């Protein structure tokens, strides 16, 4: 739980302090008033990084540094951002100890629901891959490094492919092996996570919607999941010439997808707008539960301007799942939200341009 936060030279905040309640915190203000900036600061305090623009934009214009300080139930947390040339250097202080990066056990578990997530199910496969990977990064200690190593190896192989015939077979083969080893590890972790989600999603959907549908969720892999690394290596070797012509790697976890099925059919083909939003809420609630089970503490929940996107029935159903979590909801209309949390909410007005 976060009790309060102080922001200095952070986006629209020069030096401001906010107090939070243990239940639902409703951050209210007109558009461009700093609501999302405040929500973003909570995310940075918890995870050490942001889902928004690059780090350069976090520090106020014409300032050399920004500082975020929060009191939490696990002690004081400070994040410092400093301009160093064209880059931003981050440093962290937890309970008086300094760190250059935050390992999983130094972060606070957190679930974010923001407007772009409304396109998770209907958008590109990249969004669903990122959803799985972001959750794995909060639950699997080695995954952050695995994810970065795979991206680096993929870039190296693709760069070689773009050079065409000038590249020797042995050079490509070395990256085929490296990419297949890393890719197999990622695919297995993603597949296991999809199975965890699938086991929990049906009863939650029934409770949120009042309708009983058969919701399925599967990892749609480009290679056989049972022996992914070997199968991927075979495909990379077999389609070597075609990859050279295309200039990119066509097989691997960077091309996989997560499919959500309704009564055995793709959600995109049969789901209504309301059903899609309910499915997304289900995924976020399952995310809360998985994080809590694996991390041993209740995650923070951040809802950025999406509560108004839900109808009254779904809002009411959602509130039942939020009762035991510290929640931060941004809105331009507090009345839309407050009526659902009359006994347990804190109103936080913002007024920054």
Residue 234 has a CB neighbour count (10 Å cut-off) of 16
Domain 1-108+298-353 in CATH 3.40.47.10: no
> Bridge partners of 75?
72
The predicted-structure confidence for 181-218, as pLDDT tens digits, reads as follows: 999 999 999 999 999 999 999 999 888 887 788 888 99
Q: What is the CA radius of gyration of the chain?
A: 22
Backbone torsions φ then ψ of 260, nearest 5 degrees? -105, 125
The predicted-structure confidence for 152-184, as pLDDT tens digits, reads as follows: 999 999 999 888 766 667 788 999 999 999 999
Mean pLDDT of 5-10: 97
Distance CA 310, CA 272 (A): 13
The pair of three-digit structure tokens given for residue 196, joined into one six-digit string: 């965890």
Within 8 A by CB and 6+ apart from 342, the residues are none
Which residue reads 């295309």 in tokens? Answer: 246
Mean pLDDT of 224-244: 93
Distance CA 139, CA 310 (A): 29
Asked if pLDDT for residue 271 goes beyond 80, the answer is: no
Distance CA 48, CA 78 (A): 10
* Straight-line distance from the first to the last Cα atom of the chain, in angstroms, rounded to the nearest whole number: 28
Half-sphere exposure of 219 (CA within 13 A, CB side): 28
Helices (H), 82-168: 125-139, 143-162
Looking at the chain, which residues constitute the CATH 1.20.1050.90 domain(s)? 116-296
The predicted-structure confidence for 322-336, as pLDDT tens digits, reads as follows: 778 999 999 888 877
Domain 116-296 in CATH 1.20.1050.90: yes
| Closest listed residue to residue 321, CA positions, set 281, 294, 349 | 281
Asked if pLDDT for residue 53 goes beyond 70, the answer is: no
Ranges 63-72, 255-264, 309-318, most confident: 63-72
Q: Helix or strand or coil: residue 13?
A: strand
**Mean of the per-residue pLDDT values of the chain:** 89
Write down the pTM of the prediction.
0.88
Looking at the chain, which residues constitute the CATH 3.40.50.300 domain(s)? 1-108+298-353
Mean pLDDT of 309-332: 82
- pLDDT computed for residue 267 by the predictor: 65
The pair of three-digit structure tokens given for residue 22, joined into one six-digit string: 């243990």
The predicted-structure confidence for 77-105, as pLDDT tens digits, reads as follows: 999 999 998 888 999 999 989 999 999 99
- pLDDT computed for residue 59 by the predictor: 93
Asked if pLDDT for residue 353 goes beyond 50, the answer is: no
Residue 181 has a CB neighbour count (10 Å cut-off) of 15
């Amino acid at each position: 739980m976060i009790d309060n936060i102080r922001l200095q030279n952070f986006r629209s905040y020069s030096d401001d302090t906010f107090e939070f309640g243990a239940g639902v915190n409703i951050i209210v203000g007109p558009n461009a008033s700093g609501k999302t900036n405040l929500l973003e600061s909570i995310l940075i305090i918890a995870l050490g990084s942001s889902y928004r623009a690059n780090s350069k934009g976090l520090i106020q214009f014409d300032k050399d540094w920004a500082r975020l300080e929060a009191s939490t139930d696990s002690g004081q947390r400070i994040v410092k951002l400093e301009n160093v040339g064209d880059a931003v250097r981050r440093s962290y202080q937890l309970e008086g100890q300094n760190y250059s990066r935050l390992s999983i056990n130094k972060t606070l578990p957190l679930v974010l629901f923001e407007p772009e997530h409304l396109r998770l199910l209907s958008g590109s496969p990249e969004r669903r891959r990122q959803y799985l990977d972001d959750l794995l990064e909060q639950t699997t200690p080695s995954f952050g490094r695995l994810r970065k190593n795979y991206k680096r190896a993929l870039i190296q192989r693709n760069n070689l492919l773009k050079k065409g015939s000038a590249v020797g077979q042995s050079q490509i083969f070395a990256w085929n092996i490296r990419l297949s080893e890393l890719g197999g590890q990622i695919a297995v972790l993603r597949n296991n996570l999809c199975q965890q989600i699938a086991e929990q999603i049906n009863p939650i959907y029934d409770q949120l919607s009042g309708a009983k549908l058969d919701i399925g969720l599967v990892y749609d892999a480009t290679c056989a999941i049972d022996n992914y690394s070997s199968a991927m290596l075979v495909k990379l070797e077999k389609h070597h010439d075609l990859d050279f012509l295309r200039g990119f790697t066509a097989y691997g976890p960077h091309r996989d997808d997560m499919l959500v099925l309704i009564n055995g059919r793709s959600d995109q083909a049969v789901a209504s707008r309301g059903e899609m939003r309910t499915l997304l809420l289900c995924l976020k609630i399952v995310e809360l539960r998985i994080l809590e089970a694996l991390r041993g503490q209740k995650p923070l929940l951040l809802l950025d301007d999406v509560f108004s996107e839900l109808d009254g029935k779904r809002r009411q159903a959602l509130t039942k799942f939020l009762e035991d979590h510290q929640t931060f909801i941004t809105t331009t209309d507090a009345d839309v939200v407050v009526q659902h949390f009359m006994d347990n909410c804190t109103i936080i007005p913002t007024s920054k341009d």
